[in-house]
Copies of this chain bind each other. A is one copy, B any other.
Amino acid sequence: MLTELKREAYEANLALPQHGLINLTFGNASAMDRAKGIFAIKPSGVAYAALKPEDMVLIDLDGKQVEGALRPSSDTPTHRRLFLAFPEIGGVVHTHSSHATAFAQAGREIPIFGTTHADYFYGNVPVTRKMSPAEITGGAYEWETGNVIVELFTSLGLDPADFPAVLVNRHAPFTWGKTVAKAVEVAVATECIAHMALMSLQLEPHLPVIESSLRDKHFKRKHGPGAYYGQPGC
């Protein structure tokens, strides 16, 4: 069942090492069918070279495995938490891409230093608080990982469409989008802007973020009713 959804998830997972975002088996991607309330996700710890579309595991929003011979990604509860909290998203990607992870490890937001960043995000890429020992050891670590993300977006009133990525403190980035292909694109952009931000900080350690007019212009050039980037209908 859901052959097309599994194919989408499969292709997104393969795209991660192709874009240099993933080493070994770090990372995973999932694609959601909102009508059915089911998402397809990578099986845990399977090498990318050996992956096949039919290996994708199907999970419903209650966390039940509805299809698949393999064990799903250990991060499945984080994906599920995000699909539940952010109803407009259709795909989630998790990587340990090097530059974005360096910011996550340092507990630092990726500052919005230029138009490349503003093309994807309406401000800094946010970073969660550290997880508590209870959240880590309580038996639902991956679900709680999703919870600290949701808590951050709720408490700051962030729209997941305006901020399609987050850094989990001491861990790594998660990204999302209307489709899993879009979530992959955001993962590429997040890694790229993290790299550039790190270098800009080397040049100017106290560099301020960009002016709101430039942020608005670039973000809205690509998003929302006034967007004029790309082809109509794309």
Q: Which residues of B contact A211 (CB under 8 A)?
A: 130, 133, 136, 170
Q: Does A101 contact B (CB under 8 A)?
A: yes
Taken together as a complex, chains A and B put the C-alpha atoms of A70 and B229 apart, in Å, by: 12
The interface size of chain A toward B, counting residues with CB under 8 Å, comes to: 64
Contacts of A172 in B (CB 8 A): 114-116
A200 contacts across to B, CB distance below 8 A: 102-103, 105-106
Which of A25, A119, A172, A203 has the largest number of chain B CB atoms within 10 A? A203
Chain B residues whose CB sits within 8 angstroms of the CB of A74 once the complex forms = 221, 228-229
* Apart from the given pairs A102-B199, A141-B217, 5 other A-B contacts in the complex at a CB distance below 8 Å: A46-B230, A99-B199, A105-B114, A105-B197, A107-B204
Interchain residue pairs with CB less than 8 A apart (6): A23-B189, A24-B185, A71-B228, A102-B199, A136-B211, A201-B202
Residue positions of A touching B, CB distance < 8 A: 23-26, 43-46, 70-71, 74, 96, 98-99, 101-108, 113-116, 119, 130-131, 133, 136-137, 141, 170-172, 185, 188-189, 192, 195-204, 207, 210-211, 213-214, 216-217, 221, 228-232, 234
